Amino acid sequence: MASQAAAVEAGESASGGISRREFLYYIWGASIALVSLQGAGLLLWFLIPRFREGEFGGTFKVSMGDVPPVNSAPINFAEGRFWLVNLDTTQPNELMYQASDEPNPIQGVAAIYKVCTHLGCIYAWTPTNSRFECPCHGSKYRLDGRRVESPAPRSLDRFLVQALADDETTVLAEASLSDDFYQPLSLPSGTAFIRVDTGSRKQGPSLPLLCEFQGNCP
């Protein structure tokens, strides 16, 4: 009987067909490949970050009515973990001391990450001193995020900012990079919204302390 089955298998192979055993091997191999593909797909699904609009890591759209007036106190966007500032050093201002090593003027909107560059505490705007102050170890920053006093090793980080037209999608202008750091974005006419991309953050530069220029370092 066994020799009969072997003869049948040998006959199928010789005639170009496949034996039952081969067929089962193919099914088994295909199943393994399918399971592996599913596993790889699931892994990619978890590894590739996906953020919705209005969720930290994604984009935030801010209407012009919610952008702070030029040279006024910053506005806190808690969900996006950033402060929005609107600067113009050509206009009178009481909040922005400018150092001699800086470009003149400093103009435009910037979105500043709310985490201190020292050890990651959440700092806050202190209106009485007109600067950002960190409660943990006393680092201080100017309105645009430049480091005023250490121990912070560098200025505050910034997110990419874009100016949008009133269709909410057309990008009129985008913050440019200087030394791999986002510069404030001067808003072109026709800007109706600001888009802040919290998935695109640049580290603040390690400029000299502002208190050194002011001669009042502690």
Least distance from ligand FES to the Cβ atom of residue 191, Å: 33
- Decide whether 109 or 116 has the Cβ nearer to ligand FES: 116
What Cα–Cα distance (Å) separates residue 196 from each residue in 104, 118, 216?
24, 24, 34
Q: Which is nearer to ligand FES, 98 or 203 (CB)?
A: 203
Which among 147, 79, 77 has a CA at the least distance from the CA of 116? 147
Which residues touch 150 (CB under 8 Å, ≥6 apart)?
118, 139, 209
Q: Which CB sits closer to ligand FES, 118 or 146?
A: 118
CA-based nearest residue to 203, from 156, 147, 152: 156
- Cα 95 → chain centroid: 27
Q: At closest approach, how far in Å is the CB of 196 from ligand FES?
A: 22
Min dist. Cβ of residue 38 to ligand FES (A): 44
Closest distance to ligand FES from the beta carbon of 39 (Å): 41
Residues in contact with ligand FES by CB under 6 A are: 116, 118-121, 134, 136-139, 151-152
Q: How far apart are CA 10 and CA 17, in angstroms?
A: 10
Please tell me whether residue 71 adopts helix, strand or coil conformation. coil
Cis bond leading into 208, ω under 30°?
A: no
Tokens of 105: 């003027």
Nearest approach in angstroms of CB 154 to ligand FES is 12
- Note the Cα 44 to chain centre separation in Å: 20
- Report d(CA 93, CA 139) in Å as an integer: 23
Task: Give the residue with the Cβ less far from ligand FES, 121 or 173.
Answer: 121
The residue among 111 and 116 lying less far from ligand FES, judged by its C-beta, is: 116
118/202 with CB nearer ligand FES: 118
Q: How far apart are CB 141 and ligand FES at their closest, in Å?
A: 10
